[in-house]
Structure 1
């Protein structure tokens, strides 16, 4: 009888631990989903915005450059105004191969993170561990492509159009008289963000597997344990 009471207390303690473990995992999972959505917004913004590098007070000209769009100050009939050029539909309008490569890789990063958001719907149909593994790999590849885009972009800073704004000293991986703008910095932050999210997704997937391993015990209803389990335990 003493052994049975101890066994019941052990099972109740294990189930309480499992329940707390599950609640904490769900809370972390919700935060992971929210921050994944935030990263998707960041990824889209840095892809669209042309504020990757731009003029400073020391610059030769006035303008700024993004992945596929570049803007500069030109004279017009009404005076001077900022005119933006470059179309995503026509890669020939993108200034140089480095900018085109960066556009492709960051674009792939955007597509993959959108697929990750869509994959979250699988939580309604598959086990959380499987979905976290899928999303973790998607986030990893999204981050990898974003890293390539961030590293490829400075390879186009020697372009004549860039030098018109940033001065003749602008060259590969050196912006000359220009400076980094907020979109480029945001892209770097996004790289760190998505890689942390990918690591967290894999961690949550493993935790859910461990959670299943913690549930071999019978469920206690209203303080009463399955009698057959008690009898088996006593016989053992």
Structure 2
């Protein structure tokens, strides 16, 4: 009877380990996707853009275009918009230097957590999870701060040229927030979810591993799934 109970317990433990590995692989894939999204958030000139206005004649048409951390893009008669800025040299617009630096810091933290996935083969899995969790938590904090500082910097020449003279801090005038800024807000939520999941996986990893594997080498999650 005791032997049967131990076999059942070992079976349940094996199933728990498989489930934890499956969740870990999903977490790793989502972390990689989040890192790619961070790159898009940083470089895309679509944080704000002009609204759809019904223009009536009698004067020059208001400009239409979009603005990001590095570029201002105006629509022209050509299919490709005319962009002004320094994306190639990664020089942000003067008014948005602080948000750009914070997004770059967030991007660095996320890609550092992606690099830490290689440590699963060499280090204790619980420790790696917790390192990644703190990196992702820091990335989310930097991204959240960038999302707050960005609208606070709207009272600048680039925004006035695109959105009119009614622009002020947290008031975009004739413009509205576009998909890149919304994606940044969703990125803050994503970072919080990934960090929380990493903390949970890290705290439970030692309990899920068999006794003979706790002090030994831990196989990488992506190869062990």
Q: Distance in 1 between matches of 2:103 and 2:141?
A: 9
Give the gaps of 5 or more residues in structure 2.
Answer: 56-61, 213-225
Aligned to 2:12: 17
SS at 1:176's partner residue? coil
Q: Hey, what's the Cα distance between the residues in 1 that align with 2:80 and 2:26?
A: 44
SS in 2 for 1:85: strand
* Mapped contact 1:72–1:82 kept (Cα < 8 A): yes
1:1-236 alignment to 2 at 5 Å? 6-58=1-53, 60-73=62-75, 82-88=81-87, 89=89, 91=91, 94-96=93-95, 99-212=96-209, 215=211
Q: CA RMSD in A?
A: 2.1
User: Which residue is equivalent to 1:229?
Assistant: none
1:83 shift after superposition:
2.4
Residues 80 and 201 (structure 1), Cα distance of their counterparts in 2 relative to 1, 3 Å cut: closer
For the pair shown, the structure with the greater C-alpha radius of gyration is 1
Measured after TM superposition, the shift of residue 187 of structure 1 is: 0.9
TM-score by length of 2: 0.84
Aligned residues: 204
The answer to whether the 8 A contact 2:70-2:90 is kept is no
For residues 127-151 of structure 1, what are the alpha-carbon distances to aligned partners after superposition, in whole Å with 9 as ceiling and x for unaligned? 1111101111111111111111111
Contact 1:136 1:197 in 2 (8 A): yes
Q: Name the CA shift for 1:81/1:133 in 2 (closer, same or farther; >3 Å).
A: closer
